[in-house]
Amino acid sequence: MSTYYYELMEYMKAIKPISTHCHHRPDAMFANDFCLKTLLEESYSNWCGVEVGDTFESRKYYFDLIKNRNFFKCLEKALQLIYKIDTPLRADTYEIFDFAVRKAHREDPDFHMKLLTDIAGYDHVILDSYWQPGENGGHPELFSPTFRIDSFFFGFNPELKDHDGNNCGKFFGDRFGDFDTFFMSLKELIIDSHKRGAVAIKCATPYDRGLDFEFVTEKKARKVFEKREGSYDIADVKAFQDYIFLQTCQIAAELDIPFQVHTGLGRLSKTNAYLLQPVIEANPDTRFVLFHGGYPWMDDIFGLVHVYPKNVFPDIVWLPLISTEAAVRMLTELIEVANSQSICWGDDTWTSEESYGALMAVRHVLAMVLSNKIKDGYMLPADAFEAASNILRNNAQRIYRFE
Ligand SMILES: [Zn+2]
């Protein structure tokens, strides 16, 4: 590591970051006997296909399988620093970490918020509470909502649910009776949420379907409502959902708020960011924030930011947690092809401990990439330091209007 790596790391400690995306859980979860098991279950370590369990054997099996996963490494590192524990987190040290987590949250119910404001030092965090779209979790001083639209994709049938188990009818009552009232309600709800502080709209539909949104006619989109009593088919559902996405692009443009779109991973099939190209082309006044580097198809993002520099904003949210190495690869190239005021970052976590891990991961990524750019003679030191504060703070401040 060059000295610039350490200088950048030191410099970034003084920057108050703005995270463009999180799912921070309600206060009640942290107040209610919050322990290491809950923390692990509410983290990406829970996405590794193995359960932590309650016995020494189950924990040993769990850590044996996930101990080298980046998701776990970031969380382990954060726990070691927050709770001042030197040992690695494994089955034989589980109780030490569990005791520390329980004690801190029991003694101070506000500890989870203090971790975000005092330890991580966040200035603003955009909250995607998909269990309560458009709300700020009771902490408007830190959280600004993004309005999550996924549950609307299933609004044509109150019995159906999105991948998080939600239907817009459950959240907003029986106001989606027919096609016209549905779209009137969608728009009203977004406008109302914006008035109450929502700074963006969010779509995470790749967990339910692909990003292959087509330019459907209103006539075609209506069918799923008209045939409700009969039998609508998959094509009718897709047309209705395509129409929602297109309408939301227009609403975002009218309100002049960014439209955050999850790209990559999810169900994997048809989640490539490139699939959004026709919609981006047709909506030059909509500011598309493309999440997660489109991982693993990061090249799609490079192409889109290159061709649409005015309305495509790459956000490496979550990427440093998925794979720090991938984030280094992505940012190394992204800096060369994206304008310096467009790249943002978000933590994308449910708990403060993992959020701090995500922040440390992105700082490491920035220090690695930018110190290399200085060493290679590509960037002036001053420009590299400026890029770090742009990506951690200034770009989000401008794009989401936090001034
Ligand atoms: Zn997320």
Whether residue 265 is found in the same domain as residue 278: yes
Laid out side by side, the sheet with 200-203 consists of 18-22, 124-127, 143-148, 200-203, 259-262, 288-291, 312-315
- 201/146 Cα distance (integer angstroms): 5
CA of 349 to the centre of ligand 1 (A): 7
| Residues 234, 367 within the same domain | yes
pLDDT at position 174? 78
Residue 22 resides in a domain: no
Residue 79, domain extent = 29-109
- Distance from the CA of 329 to the center of ligand 1, in angstroms? 21
Domain match, 155 and 74 both: no
In a domain, 5, yes or no: no
Residue type at position 333: E
**Does residue 192 sit in the same domain as residue 81?**
no
Q: Is residue 20 part of a domain?
A: no
Q: Cα(335) to centroid of ligand 1, in Å?
A: 23
Structural domain count of the chain:
2
230 pLDDT more than 80? no
Residue pLDDT, tens place only, 296-330:
999 999 999 999 999 999 999 999 999 999 999 99
- Expressed in angstroms and rounded, the spacing between residue 92 Cα and the centre of ligand 1 is 32
Domain closes at, from 87, 109, 131: 109
In a domain, 382, yes or no: yes
Please check whether residues 59 and 165 belong to one and the same domain.
no
Residues 385 and 266 in one domain: yes
Q: Ligand 1 centroid vs 20 CA: distance in angstroms?
A: 10
**Which residue's structure tokens are 């999180």?**
22
Domain match, 96 and 195 both: no
Residue 320 lies in a domain: yes
Distance 120 CA to ligand 1 centre (A): 19
Measured in Å, residue 23 CA sits from the centre of ligand 1 at 6
- Please state, in angstroms and rounded to a whole number, the distance separating the CA atoms of residues 340 and 45: 33
Whether 217 is in a domain gets the answer: yes
What is the pLDDT confidence band of residue 176, given thresholds at 50, 70 and 90? confident
Q: Could you tell me if 126 and 226 lie in one domain?
A: yes
Q: How far is ligand 1, taken at its centre, from the CA of residue 55, in Å?
A: 31
Digit-coded pLDDT (tens) for 13-71? 999 999 999 999 999 999 989 999 999 999 999 999 999 999 999 999 999 999 999 99
In a domain, 277, yes or no: yes
What pLDDT was estimated at residue 228? Answer: 67
Which residues share a beta bridge with 145? Answer: 127
Summarize pLDDT for 141-157 with one digit per residue, the tens: 999 999 999 999 998 88
Say how many Å lie between the CA of residue 231 and the centre of ligand 1: 34
Q: For the segment 354-396, what is each residue's pLDDT rounded down to a tens digit?
A: 999 999 999 999 999 999 999 999 999 999 999 999 999 999 9
Based on the domain organization, do 83 and 129 belong to the same domain? no
Residue 223 Cα to ligand 1 middle (Å) = 31
Distance from Cα 129 to the centre of ligand 1, integer Å: 9
Distance (angstroms) between ligand 1 centre and the Cα of 275 equals 20
Mean pLDDT, the chain, whole residue set: 95
Query: Ligand 1 center to residue 127 CA distance, Å?
Result: 9
Centre of ligand 1 to C-alpha 101, Å, is 24
Specify the CATH number for the domain of residue 125: 3.20.20.140
Domain boundary residue, one of 94, 109, 124: 109
Q: Closest Cα to residue 153, out of 226, 71, 83, 242?
A: 242
Residues 131 and 221 in one domain: yes
pLDDT level of residue 118 (50, 70, 90 thresholds): very high
| Ligand 1 center–CA 99 separation, angstroms | 29
Between the CA of 207 and the centroid of ligand 1 the distance, in Å, is 11
Distance from the alpha carbon of residue 40 to the mean position of ligand 1, in angstroms: 17
Taking the centre of ligand 1 as the mean of its atom positions, its distance from the CA of residue 16, in whole angstroms, is 21
Residue finishing a domain among 70, 87, 109? 109
> Around ion ligand 1, which residues have CB less than 5 A away?
348
Span 270-282, mean pLDDT? 97
Over range 116-139, report the average pLDDT.
Answer: 96
219 and 352, same domain (yes or no): yes
Looking at residue 196, what is its pLDDT? 95
217 and 237: one domain?
A: yes
Instruction: With respect to residue 8, please indicate whether it lies within any of the assigned structural domains.
Output: no
